[in-house]
Amino acid sequence: MTESYFASIAPIEFEGAASENPLAYRYYDKNRVVLGKRMEDHLRMAVCYWHTFCSEGADMFGPGTFHRPWHIGPMDQAHAEHKLNEAFEFFTRLGLPFFCFHDTDVMAEAHTIREHVDNLARIGDRIQEKMAATGVKLLWGTANLFSHPRYMAGAASNPDPDVFRFAATQVRHCMDLTKRLGGQNYVLWGGREGYDSLLNTDLKQEKAQLGRFLKMVIEHKHKIGFSGTILIEPKPHEPTKHQYDFDVETVYSFLVANGLEKEVKLNIEANHATLAGHSFEHEIATAVALGVFGSIDMNRGDPQNGWDTDQFPNDVREITTALYYILLGGGFTTGGNNFDAKVRRQSFEPADLFYAHVGAVDTVAQGLINAAAMIEGGQLAGIVKERYAGWQGELGRAILDGKMSLEALSDGAVAEGITPRPRSGRQEMIENLVGRYL
Amino acid sequence: MTESYFASIAPIEFEGAASENPLAYRYYDKNRVVLGKRMEDHLRMAVCYWHTFCSEGADMFGPGTFHRPWHIGPMDQAHAEHKLNEAFEFFTRLGLPFFCFHDTDVMAEAHTIREHVDNLARIGDRIQEKMAATGVKLLWGTANLFSHPRYMAGAASNPDPDVFRFAATQVRHCMDLTKRLGGQNYVLWGGREGYDSLLNTDLKQEKAQLGRFLKMVIEHKHKIGFSGTILIEPKPHEPTKHQYDFDVETVYSFLVANGLEKEVKLNIEANHATLAGHSFEHEIATAVALGVFGSIDMNRGDPQNGWDTDQFPNDVREITTALYYILLGGGFTTGGNNFDAKVRRQSFEPADLFYAHVGAVDTVAQGLINAAAMIEGGQLAGIVKERYAGWQGELGRAILDGKMSLEALSDGAVAEGITPRPRSGRQEMIENLVGRYL
Amino acid sequence: MTESYFASIAPIEFEGAASENPLAYRYYDKNRVVLGKRMEDHLRMAVCYWHTFCSEGADMFGPGTFHRPWHIGPMDQAHAEHKLNEAFEFFTRLGLPFFCFHDTDVMAEAHTIREHVDNLARIGDRIQEKMAATGVKLLWGTANLFSHPRYMAGAASNPDPDVFRFAATQVRHCMDLTKRLGGQNYVLWGGREGYDSLLNTDLKQEKAQLGRFLKMVIEHKHKIGFSGTILIEPKPHEPTKHQYDFDVETVYSFLVANGLEKEVKLNIEANHATLAGHSFEHEIATAVALGVFGSIDMNRGDPQNGWDTDQFPNDVREITTALYYILLGGGFTTGGNNFDAKVRRQSFEPADLFYAHVGAVDTVAQGLINAAAMIEGGQLAGIVKERYAGWQGELGRAILDGKMSLEALSDGAVAEGITPRPRSGRQEMIENLVGRYL
Amino acid sequence: MTESYFASIAPIEFEGAASENPLAYRYYDKNRVVLGKRMEDHLRMAVCYWHTFCSEGADMFGPGTFHRPWHIGPMDQAHAEHKLNEAFEFFTRLGLPFFCFHDTDVMAEAHTIREHVDNLARIGDRIQEKMAATGVKLLWGTANLFSHPRYMAGAASNPDPDVFRFAATQVRHCMDLTKRLGGQNYVLWGGREGYDSLLNTDLKQEKAQLGRFLKMVIEHKHKIGFSGTILIEPKPHEPTKHQYDFDVETVYSFLVANGLEKEVKLNIEANHATLAGHSFEHEIATAVALGVFGSIDMNRGDPQNGWDTDQFPNDVREITTALYYILLGGGFTTGGNNFDAKVRRQSFEPADLFYAHVGAVDTVAQGLINAAAMIEGGQLAGIVKERYAGWQGELGRAILDGKMSLEALSDGAVAEGITPRPRSGRQEMIENLVGRYL
């Protein structure tokens, strides 16, 4: 066998904050115990297969610049296995515990539905061997229901039931494989479940189709005994003008309307949050409050650009607050941090993939250390608790427990002649307080 | 009594499209029958009290420029009545059937909670007299729970239960007055129900408070026998960084989580839709599909500015598609079109208020005529119906009726070797088709 | 020879507004005289080669859906000629007078710099024959300096002088060909003249390179006696994070700093204007005021999406005001309206290309008819003129002519005790006035 | 005299990074020498008068919440002096060397043009005394040409020459006072120099007025011997739909067109940069490259909200890169960092003003320490220099020196058969490198 594409890169080791080695971890010490748990177990970081091994560096204005060796020629079984070998070369050098994939990322290209099933099964065996040999685990699998032209008008929400059937076939076999590989979650991202034009769209019909599709997925999960979590990943738009899974609240609305809010959790992506007009931490805190927080697609967008740039995270402040809310919600269970991020088109060398991941891993590790300190310090939680203390009083509890009518409350307030006392929100002081932990 | 501020403006009459009179209607002929109903009854247009009579033309960079006579001096009972008289002078000249108000728009300024109740009751009598004398009706009332400093950290979602109580008092008395005046709806807009900083906020607690508040409102509605509709108006942010009633789906999520989706409908504002990253027609079509469409705050934003500009609508294409989806959903029942729009700060003369409304009314009337023709033409609906025809087949129905498992569907698809046939979405042709109706 | 891809489409004819034929013009009657000039001569509409014949319907989330016959196999000379033949089949059926191209749109793919020069020259002969045979003319040519991986870090602004040289070679030969074909303009769009990260960029150096490149282009124009106009097309970003030719003012700044403001004009694209935070008409009016208005890339963006959607225009109001400012500025000289627009990915059939262009051509034609009526009506111009009438007075002229010092002006104002009289801006009335012309 | 509003706050002292005192500096040690200069002299930080002492905490949806004592009653001379006393109480406790003001911030409200001149002169004497007594200096003065209703349609760009005269009067006297107080700069922010509607606007006329106004300002500067810098502050919009001073490049375009690019520099505000679609560091680096960098309005916006939030900076990464580019450009000369930032509406207590400033001052101080280390480390500059090294070669220099024609360059490239060598842009590695300095 030829030398690995990544042969020149030594395994990435933890060297501490003082290290000047750009290919070492300065903060990610996987065995360091934070809030009673090893960093690796807290953060459950994963490499994504698509951006890291499938992307060729194309954008809408030009073709690929990466020229990875496994992309020279058709994506047949041999090339798929070449890519797989290199993926595990990368995983093991990087030292993260997990990876994630779409069915079409890993398999040889299929030209018929039968080939799809067969090619996925065939590469599944190879993946299983690689995982066994290396100890790398699967955070989640997913089916790509948006790239093939058959999905140009959606998958489960397609006007054509045959497309729904093709999507069902992909999902069924990808769920089966995910289970076989010990995957801890299964993700649905509705890349084209939405519309390009409302004018040719029957919104209600499409959402009914989506609802039925999701129920079939849940039924299948139980049937095959998959013990992982089903996750939906919101995104507001792109490639579609409008996507049905716009943001956390929209997905929750859909789940509740279909009675599935106990069966499904959310995979939240930083860049999708910001494209929807929310902060990353808002989407996390909302999912935690609704009881549907599941996992993270860790990346960042560009605050001046209006599309999904999927950049590697490097903003410690943003990651710290994101992890703070995750920790407040109890941390990850089956979920984790998947780096749904891609190197820039000019960063075409093997080393760039490592620089990007090393920086991101360290940013997340620093964020964890900071967020844990914030939790341990307790000031922030204390301020919030104290701010709402009035609701722990007798009247507050009576209101929330439904024991007061509008009339009674109103009459009492007028009789008392209440004049609520203003109180500073202390936003700047609190922001400074967070700054102390960075 | 002195001459009306609007004395120089004659009542606005319908003169037909050829009229060159800038103070006549060219399209709004209230008795014209469209789709079997009088235009007036279809459109149910309303003047808003706040922008039209309360605004002084201030913005964040300068004080008022309007200098309406009723704003000279303190807003006591005499000034409130002066304003009320002028409001009805305006309504009757404009010839629209409805108006809308916040409690604080109409009443003398109150310095205590008792004064609030009394001042509102006092002006209520005057409003009732004016309505009886003119035949102008109330589309909806609402309580202003965001302007007074007591609400700086929210009303029902405030950390202080006393603020919740004050809000409850305002809403109770405003609902009672709305009922007394024959109001057809009661609206809740959560202007500061949200947060400026997530860091000092307990999201889950605040949403629980909001849920309880809404339930009290519904209980009160039934208790007093108010037969109108309770409406929530979504907005994503401004003045807060983030508002809980972000958009239609978010409000629906909240309603379903609180079991209130049959009790509450939505008041959709064009400019709020676009601030949330949606088209106006998207929000309407979504509300219709979810069964919660209620009423419209008719205005427009500026596509290049990122705040709520509340401009008068003048884009016939946008209004046509908006009304098309409203008509498809069965049209207005208790709701209508409230012009939540303000004249620009430089448009400080009485005539400007008329120019603005006349143009907007005509835009909406033209939109109705166009949308009705689109419905009568039937091509667009036909295209959509035909596009989803496959779902009317045996397999399509079996899928939607829950008779197929993922496995069965998948096995069948592979056995058949399905290859879905691509089909043009015909977006450009359909857009041209809409253009024919403008 | 095989039948044309467009064989099923009959030539598009003008049939008048009442026509229900979706493949006829309802407003574009090329010989109709508007403001003393034939519509065709006013509008100078052009089909773009890239979106219409080169795009395969790919987006960032999936490959092409169009499957045009000339894309099956490598883009060698035979395929390039096949594409060329079909392009002229399209042009002649559509009946527009012009087309536009990038060098790489029309030629066989080149693998060396020598091949680039040769392949372009070879297809140039074929283009010349086709133009002679059909009478279709060239509005402008341009070199594609952004798609090939060599340009990933820019062309003229590249850190590597060899890339600058390659770009110079492409531009020189493309200018020569444009001249040979009687092209009326030559366009520069700096697709990657900008940066992905400021951190690795020497802004000042890159702009100096750009300045020198542009001067070489101007020198070459004069050397070869090209009588057309050199045009720069602004865009704020995408694919780069930031592009140097951000908007009209930024390009003007660059031109003046390089002393080229008399040598170069601007090609303004609607969707680029809105991505830069401007209205389309703002960019046009600004270019007219600065004396650098040249040509239009006619399309539209999606107001809810943050990337360049390049959709066909269908908003008559927007086009009317755009053309109003163009007409006010004297209309097109060498420039025209190039449809830099692409059919949606789901619109993959030959007919969709026609639907899209027919609708767009008619929108522009309607816009011209409306804008001409606005000019002839004269009310809008009259209002504006009257609004600034004060500046025609003695003092106004003295100020503008530089005859007053700050001190003198100030002392005079205080002595007079001036109190400027407020005056309504009449924005709503004026917007209504525009509405009358639609 | 009564006790100061700020009596409870002790002077803010430097206590070091370990301090847990929320009212102490942890990084701002004014005498610490960084890159050979005292921190205080590097950063030249200033408190702004308007947000800090004039704001009452109103927003578009509610009146003030701050209730500062000096705002109770009319803003007459006594109240203006009360405010002034408190401002200096604040300055001296905070320990920053500078402040900034608008004329109308400091003076008693004027009802005539004569009163304007007199009231400004009167408070000028008091300011002079305070400055002498405390040693606090004036970074810059400016005239408020946007709040008064007379400016609703602009100041220098107003359709009415009398408004231009009033503006000229304000600027003349404010410049004179700025000189008298030893101000180091004079700023022009064209708050309403733009338009609300293009339809009623003569763009060319308005820009000619603006050009003449600016020339008068420059002439007056020289006449009175003011040795400070004239600064223009760009902003894209708000309150206007479009402001003429959109961004750095647009202002530069205007300066060059008026021959004033040597006479005027720019005051760049972080939140204005982002509203214009640029990063803060982009605007700084662009101004440095164009030779017009002057001063900073230091604040931040909210990445999810589309208006000017003017928040206190707390993002060390953003400030570090901003200061890095400022230092690369040679640092401040007459300019400095003015905190054009306001406490949130809920932060109404005296202490909140201190928390906000202390956090911001420390953020800027940390940024300086980091940026200086980046300069001293030299890696980043080294990477950039090496990236463009090719341009130092013979051919590179010949191109930039104008010694090569397009033809010669092209012929040489073809003859050589050049194939530019791709090279990684190393963006992720460089971003990691910056992260090391935070």
Residues in C closer than 8 angstroms to B356, CB to CB, are 428
The ipTM of this complex is 0.97
Residues in C closer than 8 angstroms to B346, CB to CB, are 424-425, 427
Q: Which residue of D has its CA nearest to C218?
A: D406
Chains touching chain A, criterion 3+ CB pairs below 8 Å? B, C, D
Give B101's DSSP letter.
E
Using CA atoms, how far apart are residues B106 and C90, in angstroms rounded to an integer?
64
> What domains lie within chain A, and their CATH numbers?
33-377 (3.20.20.150), 393-436 (no CATH)
Mean pLDDT of C281-301: 98
User: Does B212 contact A413 at a Cβ distance shorter than 8 Å?
Assistant: no
Using CA atoms, how far apart are residues D28 and D359, in angstroms rounded to an integer?
10
User: Does C149 contact A62 at a Cβ distance shorter than 8 Å?
Assistant: yes
Q: B262 phi and psi, to 5 degrees?
A: -95, -10
Least CB-CB distance to C425: which of B346, B351, B429? B346
Tens digits of per-residue pLDDT, A306-362?
999 999 999 999 999 999 999 999 999 999 999 999 999 999 999 999 999 999 999
Q: Which of B364, B295, B367, B372 lies closest to B336 in space, CA to CA?
A: B295
Residues in B closer than 8 angstroms to A162, CB to CB, are 390, 413, 418, 420-421
Using CA atoms, how far apart are residues C363 and B159, in angstroms rounded to an integer?
54
Give me B385's structure tokens. 């119906």
* C300, β-bridge pairs: C311
C1 confidence band (pLDDT: 50, 70, 90):
low
Mean pLDDT of D180-191: 97
pLDDT at D105: 98
Least CB-CB distance to B62: which of D63, D146, D238? D146
Residue type, B421: R
D2 confidence band (pLDDT: 50, 70, 90):
confident
Which residue among the candidates D29, D103, D105, D247 is catalytic per the annotation?
A: D105
Give me D163's structure tokens. 């408004």
CA terminus-to-terminus distance, chain C:
46
Can you count the helices (H) and strands (E) in chain B?
16, 12
Residue A239 · residue C62 · CB < 8 Å:
yes
Using CA atoms, how far apart are residues D270 and D248, in angstroms rounded to an integer?
12
Residue ranges in C198-279 assigned as alpha helix (H)? 203-224, 248-257, 270-275
Q: What percent of chain A has pLDDT over 90?
A: 100
3-state secondary structure of A37: strand
Report residue A71 CA to chain centroid gap.
26
Residue B239, preceding peptide bond in cis (omega within 30° of 0): yes
DSSP A70-81: GGSS---HHHHH
Using CA atoms, how far apart are residues A307 and C158, in angstroms rounded to an integer?
25
Give A31's DSSP letter.
T
Residue C381 has pLDDT above 60, yes or no: yes
Residue ranges in A291-378 assigned as alpha helix (H)? 316-328, 350-377
pLDDT at C328: 97
* A264, β-bridge pairs: A230
pLDDT at A1: 53
**What contacts B303, CB < 8 A, 6 or more positions away?**
B274, C274, C279, C303
Residue type, B104: T
C2 confidence band (pLDDT: 50, 70, 90):
confident
Residue D103 annotated as lining a ligand binding site: no
Residues in C closer than 8 angstroms to A308, CB to CB, are 60
Tens digits of per-residue pLDDT, C405-427?
999 999 999 999 999 999 999 99
Mutation for B interface: D241, D242, D300, D310, most B CBs within 10 A: D241
Residue C237 annotated as lining a ligand binding site: no
Using CA atoms, how far apart are residues C339 and D354, in angstroms rounded to an integer?
57
**What contacts C129, CB < 8 A, 6 or more positions away?**
none
Least CB-CB distance to B414: which of A113, A171, A220? A113
Helix (H), strand (E) at residue D380:
helix D379-387
| Separation in Å, CA of B187 to nearest CA in chain D | 17
Residues in B closer than 8 angstroms to A404, CB to CB, are 216
Tens digits of per-residue pLDDT, A105-139?
999 999 999 999 999 999 999 999 999 999 999 99
Residue C264 has pLDDT above 80, yes or no: yes
Residue A178 · residue A141 · CB < 8 Å:
yes
pLDDT < 70 regions, chain A:
1
Using CA atoms, how far apart are residues D260 and A200, in angstroms rounded to an integer?
55
Using CA atoms, how far apart are residues B219 and B27, in angstroms rounded to an integer?
42
Residue C213 has pLDDT above 90, yes or no: yes
Residue B44 · residue B30 · CB < 8 Å:
no
Which residue among the candidates D71, D102, D237, D282 is catalytic per the annotation?
A: D102
Least CB-CB distance to A202: which of B250, B281, B388? B388
Question: How many other CB atoms are there within 10 angstroms of residue D355's CB atom?
Answer: 24
Residues in B closer than 8 angstroms to D64, CB to CB, are 149
A79 assigned to active site: no
Q: B141 phi and psi, to 5 degrees?
A: -110, 165
User: Whole-model pTM?
Assistant: 0.98
Least CB-CB distance to B276: which of A152, A204, A277? A277
Residue type, B291: G
pLDDT at D1: 53
| Separation in Å, CA of B408 to nearest CA in chain A | 9
Residue B233 annotated as lining a ligand binding site: yes
Residue C163 · residue D401 · CB < 8 Å:
no
Residue B343 has pLDDT above 80, yes or no: yes
Residue D110 has pLDDT above 80, yes or no: yes
Helix (H), strand (E) at residue B374:
helix B350-377
Mean pLDDT of B364-389: 98
What residues of B are in the D interface, CB distance below 8 Å? 57, 59-65, 146-149, 151-153, 191-192, 196-197, 237-239, 241-242, 275, 302, 304-308, 344-346
Q: C264 phi and psi, to 5 degrees?
A: -130, 145
pLDDT at B153: 98
**What contacts C165, CB < 8 A, 6 or more positions away?**
D395, D409, D410, D412, D413, D418
| Separation in Å, CA of C274 to nearest CA in chain A | 12
| Separation in Å, CA of B132 to nearest CA in chain C | 32
Residue C269 annotated as lining a ligand binding site: yes
Q: Which residue of B has its CA nearest to D66?
A: B149
Give me B209's structure tokens. 């408070």
Give me A247's structure tokens. 């943001």
Mean pLDDT of D133-138: 98
Using CA atoms, how far apart are residues B285 and A199, in angstroms rounded to an integer?
11
Q: Which residue of C has its CA nearest to B273?
A: C304
User: Does A61 contact C192 at a Cβ distance shorter than 8 Å?
Assistant: yes
Residue B29 annotated as lining a ligand binding site: no
Q: What percent of chain C has pLDDT over 90?
A: 100
Average pLDDT of chain D to the nearest whole number: 97
**Count, residues in chain C:** 438
Question: How many other CB atoms are there within 10 angstroms of residue D161's CB atom?
Answer: 24
Q: Which residue of C has its CA nearest to D209?
A: C400
User: Does A355 contact D422 at a Cβ distance shorter than 8 Å?
Assistant: no
Residue type, B172: R
3-state secondary structure of B192: coil
User: Does D425 contact A303 at a Cβ distance shorter than 8 Å?
Assistant: no
B79 assigned to active site: no
DSSP C313-346: P--HHHHHHHHHHHHHTT--SS--EEE-----TT
- Sign of the torsion formed by the C-alpha atoms of A412, A415, A416 and A417: positive
Residues in A closer than 8 angstroms to C148, CB to CB, are 62
Residue B157 · residue A415 · CB < 8 Å:
no
Tens digits of per-residue pLDDT, A355-394?
999 999 999 999 999 999 999 999 999 999 999 999 999 9
Give me D413's structure tokens. 């490239």
Using CA atoms, how far apart are residues B51 and C384, in angstroms rounded to an integer?
27
Residue type, B280: F
User: Does D428 contact A347 at a Cβ distance shorter than 8 Å?
Assistant: yes
Q: Which residue of D has its CA nearest to A433?
A: D22
- B16: region left, alpha or beta (phi > 0 left; psi from -120 to 50 alpha): left
Q: B295 phi and psi, to 5 degrees?
A: -150, 175
Mean pLDDT of C162-186: 98
User: Does D160 contact C217 at a Cβ distance shorter than 8 Å?
Assistant: no
Residues in D closer than 8 angstroms to A17, CB to CB, are none
Residues in D closer than 8 angstroms to B152, CB to CB, are 62, 65, 345-346
Residue C371 · residue C324 · CB < 8 Å:
yes
Give me B342's structure tokens. 């303000």
Using CA atoms, how far apart are residues C348 and C43, in angstroms rounded to an integer?
28
Residue C401 annotated as lining a ligand binding site: no
User: Does D435 contact A316 at a Cβ distance shorter than 8 Å?
Assistant: yes
pLDDT at B1: 54
Residue C120 · residue C177 · CB < 8 Å:
yes
User: Does C303 contact B304 at a Cβ distance shorter than 8 Å?
Assistant: no
Distances (CA, A) of C261 to C187, C215, C255, D157: 15, 11, 5, 24
Tens digits of per-residue pLDDT, D313-369?
999 999 999 999 999 999 999 999 999 999 999 999 999 999 999 999 999 999 999
Using CA atoms, how far apart are residues C352 and C354, in angstroms rounded to an integer?
5
